[in-house]
Chain A
């Protein structure tokens, strides 16, 4: 269910974008790719380095860097120090952090009502 406030909807990022996690050592990279070009500006405005660092605060990122790829309507986040040492050291079952894209895609985004038709609704 989308909580609606005035002319804005608040929805999980997953309805605006998709992504995949990759890992190298103790660094995780997570892509965020808009489902539609018209949604991309919302990502740039709201899925900031600060917002992502907050979402991953329990993993104590040393640094979060956002790279913008407007021609792909995509962003690439590089999160340093979030894998408890990475695949060789971490005790996590998912020592690669493969699932982490889905933590990022859970960030809530405010979407103007006129863009609602572009959102991906789980069916």
Chain B
């Protein structure tokens, strides 16, 4: 029998469905092959928000749904040797590890060996010099909320080789959640670029969860997806050369076909000849896909090149306020009344800087902030329109004026406006930089 590693993915973003893991784990158990369950819960901004949460509470700052995601499957994973790897440690992987140990006690399982991979956090004083070098003058005056470098697969692999049942990371490259287990299982050399690249693209297909299984794909009449409400999560079958077949959990909805795989393969990818990760530079210019069974697609032709000398880091910083407000108009003349309300707000808020105006139901998505698109649309006779306005301001007091002006439309605006909602939230800006690989070190520890 050929050596195959199964990797199931049960989350593609922070807050993903907590019932996703169960069918994946059931399928992994039935297959009776070496298996790993991964959770990807760390979009770029998620980590910055987690860092802010940790400042308020030293035991916070990891995935808020961690226990809900793991509770349905932790006991079975431990009983069947299915290892768990997730970046759900976010800004506080040590606290996440303590939560997993507590959960195991609550569930009455054996005590899991929980490993933490850290070293991605560059927000402390010790790394100010490094950030200053990497960012140059852009670093000056930033009110830094978080700074994290993308780590690779090596420390994850080391943790698994050392016997970890659960590996908890902060910021690692999403595909490294897959490459780490593959490295540990197959024992590839660290410069086996083709194999690393193939596993990387398998990880890329997995990392958004349901998005390769018909999630985010359906377009009724053109792209129909069966039973979307119970869309399944993916399982990759990796071979010793890093090649993969993508499938999904048994008994779930959705579909895996050549089209769903191609869409996810190109998702958030720029140059297909150079998909950069800390582990390898993957090249899919000669890649192709092949249906090998129902809901099973093989990816071929991925090549690899030497990994980058530098690692990407994201720095988030406090950056002013986003103010938004909405009000609805309906019936005859609704569009004209909504447009008039927009004009009133533009005048009343002229000193607060550029105001974005949307007519939801007419034009609110494709348009640009400057309003070029909206002004190019012919004035129509829409009968159910929601006006939305938004502005950015460095000063909270100025941003608050938007909510007051939208609310004032009740008595001072056009006839029949209703359903005012307003919101104000702090914005996080981001700058990216490259740091030399040798200036960063991943740390591995086991939490008791």
Contact = CB atoms under 8 A, between A and B. Distances in A.
Interface string A70-96: 011010101000001001111111100
Contact of A76 (B266, B301, B390): B266
Contact of B369 (A27, A29, A31, A90): A90
Given A18-B223, A58-B373, A29 B268 contact: yes
Interface of A: 14, 18-20, 22-25, 27, 29, 31, 33, 35, 58-60, 67, 69, 71-72, 74, 76, 78, 84, 87-94, 99-100, 103, 120, 122-123
Interface stretch (B32-40, B89-97, B283-291): B283-291
B280 to A, nearest CB: 19
B268 A22 contact: yes
Contacts of A29: 266, 268-270
B267 A31 contact: yes
Given A25-B430, A93-B388, A14 B222 contact: yes
A72 B288 contact: yes
A93 to B, nearest CB: 6
6 contacts: A20-B216, A20-B266, A33-B266, A59-B368, A71-B286, A92-B365
Given A31-B263, A72-B262, 7 more contacts: A72-B266, A72-B287, A87-B45, A88-B429, A89-B429, A91-B356, A120-B222
A93 B376 CA distance: 19
Contacts of B429: 88-89
Contacts of A74: 262, 266
Given A29-B269, A31-B263, A71-B286, A122 B221 contact: yes
A94 B365 contact: yes
Contacts of A88: 45, 319, 427-430
A72 B430 contact: no
Nearest to A72: B262
Q: Which 4 A-B pairs have the closest CB atoms?
A: A22-B268, A91-B356, A31-B266, A91-B390
B99 interface: no
B266 A71 contact: no
Contacts of A99: 365-366
Contacts of A87: 44-45
A85 B272 CA distance: 24
A104 B18 CA distance: 34
